[in-house]
Structure 1
Amino acid sequence: MIITRRWLNKYIDFTDISNADIAAALNSLGFEVERTHNFDCNSNIVCGRIQVVNEIPDTHLKFCLVDTGQELVDPIVCGASNPAENGYVVVARPGAVLANGTKIAKREIKGYASEGMMCSLSELGIGEKYLTAAEQDEIILTFNEKEVSYDMIGAEDILTKIGLTDYLFEIDLTLNRSDCLSAYELARELARYFKRELFPLELESTENLKEYQNPLKVVIATSAVESAISVNVKLTPEKSPLKLSDRIWLKINEYQSNVADPFGDLAIKATLETGQPLLLYDFNKIKNPLKITDDYENKTFNIKKGDLVVVDGNEFVELIGIRVNPAYAISATTTEITVLALHLNHIVMRQQQRKVGTSNINLQRYIKPLSYATVGLGLSRYLYLLKINGFLAELSVLNFIKEYKKTVEPISLTLLEINQFIGHSFTLLEIKALLEPLAFQFKEEGEQLFVTPPVTRTDIFQKVDLIEEIVRLFGYNNIIAKPPVLPNLVKAKRPAEKTIKNFETFFLNNGFYQAKTYALVKQEEITNFNFFNYQKPYQLLSPLSEEHAVMRLSLTNSLLNSVGYNNARNQKNVKLFTVEKIYANEKSYYHGAFVSQIEIVQNKITGDNLSNSYYYIKSLLEAYVQSEQIDINELSYQQAPKNKVYHPYQTSHVFLGKQLLAIIGLIHPAYQKEVNLKSATYFGEINFEVIFNYPQKKQTFFTPLSKFSASNRDISIWVPATVTYEQIKKKILTGVKNVVAIEVIDQYFDHNEMPNYVALTISFTFNDMTKQLTEADINQQFEQIKMNLKKLQLQIR
C-alpha cells in the first residue's frame, strides 16, 4: 500500500510534522514502512511556454523557442514527439540536475543552440513502467489553463504544482488490516496518532442531482457476490484529459494512468482512497441485462467454469478484477457509462487471482476481507470525482442489486479485564481517547463496557482483538515490562493430559516413533480424510499455495506423508504416531493417529516373521483402551464406508457405546501406490474427546489374579459375510458362565465350497476365582456355547 504526503495534506494539517515523523508514526501503529521515496530531487526547474516549434531537417529533432519568464526566450532542441506551440512545459535550465542523474548545460546540436531541456516524466523521477508507450516518447505538456496558466511562466514551483515534489511511503499491511487498503483509513490512523483533525472525504450526494430511471438490469447468479450497487452516468460532451497532477499522483501510486482514459483513472483514484474497486462499461454497448456468474465458458477469452465474470447475454464482458472485453470498454465516443460496485467473497477472488497469476490495484483489494460498507463509499467518491472534473451531466437512480448488512456486535468486557490482560493501569477516559477517534462506540452498564467497532474493522470481533487494538494504539514500547505474579497454587489434575500422555507412552513402548506434522492440506484431502464427519473446516484467507489451503480434518494423511518421505529415503519399515489437534466446527478436538508398515516379530535365528495385519492394529487399539480403564466389551466394530484412501474390507469404524471412537484398517493398495508407499500400510486414528467424556470408566485399583489354571477351547464357525462378529459376540455367550476372555484368532475364506461365508476361529478362556474348573465344568459351558450357535443357525466347521 502506497500513501503520499501531498494526498495526506488534503485531510490532515501536517505543516509542522516531518516525513521522518510520519514514517515513525506508521511503524509505531503497526504499519511497517518498507520504503520511502522523495520525488523532490530536481533542481533549477521552471515553467515554460512554447512560442515556436520548427522541424530540424533530416532529423526527428525540433528547434523550439520557449518563454521561461526571462528577457529573451530560451532556444531548446527537443527530440520528443509532442512539442506544440502555446503548450506549457517543464524546463530544466542550464546547471539543473535531474532525478535520473542528467546534468543540463548549454550546447549546440546539429548547428542549433540549446540552452536547457524540456523534461519528460521519466527524467523527473517517474518509473518508465508507469508510463504509456506514448508518454515514454513525450515531454510533459499541458494546455489546461486551469492547471497551469500564463501567470505560471518562469515559476520555480511548477513541480510542486503538478505533484512532482511529493513524498512516498510504501507500507506492508498485515492481512487483518484490509481496511487500510483505503488511504483515508490510513489517514484516520495518523490523525489520531498526531491528535489532529481529520477533514472529511468529499462524497457525492445524489439528493442535489437530476436523476433519471436506471435503465439497466443486473442479475446475480453466484453466491460470490455479497453486495452490489449499479448506477448509470450520462457524460458531458466535453471530455478533457484528467488534470496532470492527478495523473502524476496515480503514477506515484504505481498505476499507469492514461491521458486517453480519464474515467478509468478516476475509478482507480477512488479505489485507492476508499479501498473499493469499481467496474466501468460503455452502457450503449450493452444489449441485454448484465449477469454476474461463475457458470460460464468462453474459449476466445480463455474463460472456464468457476471464473467469476460479467456477461451480456452470452457475450463476455469482464473477468472481474482482471480484464475487460475491449468491445465494452469506455471510449472517446461514450456518452453514458455503467458503474458497478461489488462486495465479493475474498476467498473466491483469491482463487481467481491464483489462476491468472497476476496482481493489480483492484485484485489486491478483492482478495482481502473488505467491509461491505466500502461499496457505497467507493461509488459515492467516484461520482464526486466525476462531478468536480466536469464529466457528470446526469445520474440515474441507484440500483441496490443486492444488499448485505452484517450487524456489528458490541464486545463486552470490563476495565479490570483490560488492565489485567495488558499489565497496565488504564482509565476509561484513556481508553476512549485511544479508540473513539477511530470511530469505536462505547456504552456503559455499571462496570461492564460494550464497545462496538467501526463497520470497516472486519478484524475486530472478539475481546482479545479489542485488547490488542488498545495495546497497538497505546504503543507496545510504552508498556513497562513487569514480572508476572505467580501464585503458589496446587496444580489441578487434568484427566485429558493423562489420557494423551498414556497414549504416547503406550506407543513408544510398542516401538513406534513420535512425529509432529504440518496442519495445512489441500482441499481434496478434506474430502478423502474426513473420517469423523466434521463440518466447517477452517479455510485460510490468504494461503501461500493450494497445497496448504485448509486446516486438516484428520492426522492420518499427515502421517502417510511422513511415511512416504521415509520410504523415499530407503526407510521401508516405518512405525509412527502423533497426537495433535483437529480444528473444525469452530472448535478443537484432540486426536491420536498411528501407522505401521513394519514386520512385527522377526526371529533372526529361524527367519520366521509375524506380518503386519489388521488384527495387530486392532490389538493395539484394544490394549490402549484397556489401559484407559474402559471395558473393551463396550467396543463395537462396523465396516467403514467406502473411501478411496482405505481398503473397503479391511477397515472398521470402532464405536464406544454409540460414539465413533476410532477408525482402523489398511490403506488401499491403489492409494498406497498413488502416494508412493513402499509396502502395505496399516493405520488407526482415535478421537480422544470420546474418551475424555466417557462416563463409565472402571475404577480399578487392584485386580486379584486367580490362583487356578485357566483353560481354553477353540471353535471354528461359518458366518454369513453380511453378519459381523460384533452382532453375534454377546449372543454366543448367553447363559455361559466362567468365560473370562473371548477372542477371534483366525479367519478363513473358501469361495468355492462356501461362497458368501467367512470362517471365524474363536478362542474362549475359562476360569474361576473360587475353584479349579474341571473338564466336566468346562465341557458343560462349551456345550451351552454350541447350543447358542445352533440357535443362531451358525454352522460349526
Structure 2
Amino acid sequence: MIVTRSWLNEWIDLSSVTTEDLAKKLNSIGLEVDRIHSYNVAKKIIVGRVLECEKHPDADKLNICKVDIGTSVRQIVCGASNVRAGLDVAVATIGACMPSGVVIKPVKLRGVESEGMICSATEIGLEDAQEGILELDSSIGEYELGQEVCTIDTLNDELIEIELTANRGDCLSIRGVARDLSAAYDRPLIETMINEDEDKRVGIGRILSLSHETQLDVNLRYRAVDVKELTLPLIIKLRLAQLEESRGTDIESLMLYVTHSSGVILRAYDYGFFSTEGESIAKIELKKDENSYASIYSNARDEKASTIGIIQEDASKAKDDESTILIEASYIPPDIISKKMQESKIDSGPMYYRTSRGSEPELNQGLDFCLNIIESYSSSLVYGGTIELGDSYEDKIITVTKKEIDEIIGAQIDRVRITKILRNLGFDTNKSSQDNFVITVPRFRHDITHKQDIVEEIVRLVGIDNIPSKPLVFAESSKLQDDYFAYKKRTIYRHRAAQSGFFENVAFVFDEKKVLKEYGFETIHEELELINPIVNTLDTLRPTLMTGLLKAASHNVKNGKNSIKLFEVGSVFSPTRDESIKMAFMFSGDKEKDSLLNAGKPHSVNFAHFSQKISDIIGEFELKEHESKHKLSHTYQCASVIQNGEIIGELFRVHPSVEESYDLYATYLCELDFTKLSYGLKTAKASSKYQASIRDLSIIMPKSMKYEEVKSVIEKNATKELVRFYPVDRYSDKALGKNMSLSIRFVLQSYEKTLEEEDITSTMDTILKALSEELKVGLR
C-alpha cells in the first residue's frame, strides 16, 4: 500500500508530524513501513508562465518561448510537444543542478539563445506523470511566479510504502490508513461531502432505472454525470504515477485514484451501453450470471456489463468524450466473494484484490469524493440523487469486560482511553457499562470476530513498547482432574476395606426385577426398561448393591465358608435411570476364625462388631434409629449412618426370613452413598498439652427414653472443657422397675491449665442440673 504525506494530509492533519515520527507511529500500530522515498526538487527550479510560443525558424520540433519567471521574462528554446502559451511550467534557471548532474547554462540552439530549461516531471526528479513538460495547475496548491518548486509541498513529497497483512483490507486506501492514524494521534478525519443543490439538478431517476433479483448480498450506488471538458489535474496524474498504475482513459484513471483514496470500489459505465434508441430511461439489470456471480446487465442488449467486485467488460467502460457516464460504487462482503471465487474461478480485474480483502462499505463518501473532483476540474453536469440497492446486514457485537482486557494485556489500561481508541477506530461503544464493553464492530473491519481481536486493537494503538514488561513465569498447571480424584477416592476406600478383612465383590449392574420388587425396591420405569436383557434373571438395572452381596454370600456358604466379609463399589440406578455410586458391606457368620482363644467356638458377628468394622473403613460416624423402605432389614436392628451431620446410608441386620431364604447365618449389611463419604485433605487441629480428666456418671432414666434425648441435653449444656462423652454401661433389674441405669463417661481437658477438682465438679454439676430440669433424671 502506497501513501504520501500530502495525500494523507487531505484526510487527516499531519502537518506537525515529521516523516520519521510518522513512520515510527505506523510501525507501532501494526502498519509496517517497507520503504520511504523522498522527492526533493533542486534549488533554482522555479515556477514560470509561457507568455509566447513560436516555432523555431530552423527546427521543426523546437519552439521559442517567452517565459515569465516573476522577476523577468526569459527566452527559452523548448522541444516539448505540449508547450504552449498560457501554460504554467517548472523552469530550471541558470546555475540549477539537475538530478542527472547537468548544470544549466546559457546555450544557443540552432542559433537561438536559450536561458534555462522548461522541465518535464522526470527531469526534476518526479515520477513520469505526463508526456512532455510538466503542466502546473492549482491542484498542487497555491503558488506564485518565480517561486521555487522545492517549496511546494505536493511536489516535494515523501512516499511511504506499507506492507499490509491479508486481513487489513480496510487499510488498502489513503482514508483507511488515515483512520488508523486518527486513532493513534487522536485527531479527527477530514470528510468530503458533495454540495448538492437538489433544486437545480435533474434527478437521476429520469434517465436510469435498476431492477434486481433478491438475496444477492451486494451494496450498489449509482450516480450519473454529463461529462464536459474533463481534464485530470496534475496532482492526480502525479500520484497515479507514484502508484505505478495507469488506466486507458482519464475517466478510468479518476476511478482508480478515488478508489485508492477513499477505499470505495468505483467503476464508470458508458450510459449508451444501457440505453435503447427512442427510450429516455436506461435500464440496468442486476442478476446472477451463468456461474452464479452477481452481475450487471444491460436490459437493452441483454449483455453483461460487469461482474460485481471482480471485472468490468470492455464494451461497458466509459469513453474519454463528452457524454453521459454512470458511476457505480459497490461493496460485497469479502468472505462471500472469496468463497465464491474458490468454488468457480473466473478471470478477475485489478479491483478484485481490494474486493476480496475488504473494501470500504461507506459508498456515498467515495461517490461524493469523486463527484467533487469532477465538478472542480470540469464543466460537467451531475445529476441529483442516487439509484441504490442495499443488502441486509446484522451488526456484529462483541462483549468483553474491563477485567478481561487487563488480564489479556497484562496491564491496566484506563477505561476512558480504551473507549476513545475504539471510537476513533470506528467501533460503537454506546451500549457499554462501567465494567462491561458492548462493542459494535464496523462493517469495514470484517477481520474482528472475537474479544481477543478487540484487545489486539487496543494493544497496537496503546503501543507494545508502552506496556510494562513482566518476567516470564513458567508454571506447570495441575493435570489432576475430577476423574483422577474420583478414581483415587475409590481406590483408597477399596484398600481400606481390604485391609479390614473384606473381600471385593464384582457383579453386573443388572439384577432380577422380580426379586427386587419382592423385597420392596423401586425398579426402572417400564418405558425405560431394558429391551433385550441378557437372561431373565438379569432383566433390569440394579437399584441396590445389597441383593448382589446376598447372592454372593449364599454361594460362599454353599462352598463351606462360615465367615463371609464382602464389599462392593458400583453404580446403581433410580427408576428414571439416574446413575449414582454406592458402597456396600456385608458380614455374615462368625466374626473370627475358630482358635485356641475361643476354644474352637467363635462368636457370631453382632451389630456392635459390624459397626466397628465399618468405622475402621469410613471413619467416625453416628447411628440413628431408622426404618428401612425395603424388606431386607431387621425390624429392631436398623440404623441410619450419619457422617458430618448428613445421612449417608443405612446399617442393619438382615431380616431372619431373608437369612433363611439365602441359607445364611447372622448377617449384617451396610450401604452408603459413595459420593458423600469423606475425602479430602486432613485438617490438623490443636491439642492441649495439659492432662485430661475422666469422670463417670450413672443416671437413672426410663427404659423408654432414647439416648438421643440425653445426648442432646448434654451437648447443649456442655462447657468448653468437655472434650467428649459416650455411654459405657447399661444396667437394669427388678428393683429399678421401668427404669434403667446408664453410665456415661466424660473426658474433660483445658487448653490453658490442668483442671482442678472445682472445675471438674462445676462442669458435672451443670450437666446434672440440666438433665434433672429438662428430662427429670438424676444420679443413680
TM-score by length of 1: 0.53
Structure 2 CA distance for aligned equivalents of residues 359 and 101 of structure 1: 41
Q: How far apart in 1 are the matches of 2:370 and 2:446?
A: 23
Structure 1 residue 72: Cα displacement? 5.1
1:295 matches 2:286: no
Report the Cα offset of residue 27 of structure 1: 0.6
Q: 1:124 to 1:221 in 2, by over 3 A?
A: farther
Task: Tell me if structure 2 keeps the 8 A contact 1:290–1:310.
Answer: yes
Distance verdict in 2 for CA 1:77–1:399, change over 3 Å: same
Q: What amino acid sits opposite 1:228 in the alignment?
A: L
Identify the residue that residue 188 of structure 1 maps to in structure 2: 179
1:241 has 2:241 as partner: no
In 1: Cα distance, 2:305 partner to 2:293 partner: 13
Amino acid at match of 1:202: M
Q: Give the Cα separation in 2 of the matches to 1:146 and 1:18.
A: 23
Q: 1:139 aligns with which of 133, 141, 155?
A: 133
Question: Is contact 2:64–2:76 with CA below 8 Å preserved after alignment?
Answer: yes
Matched to 2:369, the amino acid is: R
Matches within 5 A, 1:499-510: none
Paired with 1:468 and 1:411, the residues of 2 have a C-alpha distance of 14
Q: Find the aligned partners of 1:339 and 1:389 in 2 and give their Cα distance.
A: 17
**Matching of residue 450 in structure 1 with residue 438 in structure 2:** yes
For 1:409, the aligned partner's letter is K
- 1:116 Cα deviation after fit: 1.6
In structure 2, the residue matched to 1:728 is none
* Structure 1 residue 369 corresponds to structure 2 residue 358: yes
**Of 383, 395, 398, which aligns to 2:386?**
398
* Local SS of the residue matching 1:340: strand
- In the alignment, which of 427, 431, 438 is matched to residue 440 of structure 1? 427
The Cα shift of 1:276 comes to: 0.9
Give the Cα–Cα distance (whole angstroms) in 2 for the partners of residues 245 and 75 of structure 1.
Answer: 28
Question: 2: CA distance between counterparts of 1:147 and 1:70?
Answer: 19
CA contact under 8 A between 1:370 and 1:458: conserved in structure 2? no
1:227 corresponds, among 219, 222, 226, to: 219
Distance in structure 2 (CA, Å) of the matches to 1:146 and 1:366: 29
Which amino acid in structure 2 is aligned with residue 186 of structure 1?
A: V
1:204 Cα shift? 5.2
Structure 1 residues 506-540: Cα deviation after superposition (integer angstroms, max 9, x where no partner):
xxxxxxxxxxxxxxxxxxxxxxxxxxxxxxxxxxx
Is 1:410–2:397 an aligned residue pair?
yes
Equivalent residues of 2:91, 2:118 under 8 A apart: yes
Q: Aligned AA for 2:420? A: A
Unmatched segments (≥5 aa) in structure 1:
297-304, 497-694, 700-797
Aligned to 1:199: 190
Q: How far did 1:349 drift?
A: 5.4
1:252 and 2:242 aligned: yes
Contact 1:54 1:63 in 2 (8 A): yes
- What does residue 464 of structure 1 align with? 452
Letter matched to residue 187 of structure 2:
R
Distance 1:62 1:269 in 2: 34
Map of 1:366-765 to 2, 5 A cutoff? 366-370=355-359, 373-401=361-389, 403-442=390-429, 443-445=431-433, 447-484=435-472, 490-493=478-481
Q: Distance in 2 between matches of 1:230 and 1:70?
A: 46
Give the stretch that moved more between structures: 4-13 or 324-333.
Answer: 324-333
Q: What is the identity, as a one-letter code, of the residue corresponding to 1:274?
A: S
* CA–CA distance in structure 1, aligned partners of residues 253 and 126 of structure 2: 17
1:222 shift after superposition: 9.2
**Aligned partner (choices 119, 133, 145) of residue 153 of structure 1:** 145
Q: Find the counterpart in structure 2 of residue 750 from structure 1.
A: none
Judged with a 3 Å threshold, the aligned counterparts in structure 2 of structure 1 residues 67 and 293 are, in CA distance, closer, same or farther, namely same
Instruction: Look up the match of 1:218.
Output: 210
Residue 324 (structure 2) aligns with: 336
Is the 1:308–1:352 contact (alpha carbons within 8 Å) kept by the matching residues of 2? no
Q: Which residue of 2 aligns with 1:26?
A: 26
SS of residue paired to 2:33: strand
Structure 1 residue 32: deviation in Å? 0.7
Q: CA deviation at 1:435?
A: 2.2
Whole-Å separation in 2 of the counterparts to 1:7 and 1:492: 60
Deviations 1:227-286 (A, max 9, x none): 222232344xx414132233323333333378x62x434323321222111121121342
Query: RMSD between aligned alpha carbons?
Result: 3.8
Counterpart AA for 1:85: A
Task: Tell me the alpha carbon deviations over residues 709-746 of structure 1, each in whole angstroms, 9 at most, x when there is no partner.
Answer: xxxxxxxxxxxxxxxxxxxxxxxxxxxxxxxxxxxxxx
Amino acid at match of 1:229: R
Change (3 A) 1:211 1:329: same
- Corresponding residue SS for 2:162: strand
Q: Which amino acid aligns with 2:121?
A: L
What stretches of structure 2 of length at least 5 have no aligned partner?
A: 277-282, 485-576, 582-780
Query: Which amino acid in 1 is paired with 2:353?
Result: Q
Letter in 2 for 1:5: R
**How big is the shift at 1:290?**
2.9
Superposed CA deviations along residues 682-732 of structure 1, whole A, max 9, x for unmatched, are xxxxxxxxxxxxx9xxx9xxxxxxxxxxxxxxxxxxxxxxxxxxxxxxxxx
Cross-structure match for 1:111: 111
Pairing 1:278–2:266 present: yes
Q: In the alignment, residue 297 of structure 2 is paired with which amino acid?
A: V
- Structure 2 CA distance for partners of 1:428 and 1:346, relative to 1, 3 Å: closer
Equivalent pair of 1:224/1:344 in contact (CA under 8 Å): no
Which secondary structure state, in structure 2, belongs to the residue aligned with residue 430 of structure 1?
A: helix
% identity of equivalent residues:
27
Q: Tell me the CA shift for residue 202 of structure 1.
A: 3.5
- Cα 1:462–1:447 change in 2 (3 A) is same
> In structure 2, what is the Cα distance between the partners aligned to 1:409 and 1:114?
68
Summarize the Cα distance change of 1:42–1:308 in structure 2 as closer, same or farther, 3 Å threshold.
farther
**Alignment CA distance shift 1:375-1:450 (3 Å):** same
Shift of 1:326: 5.2
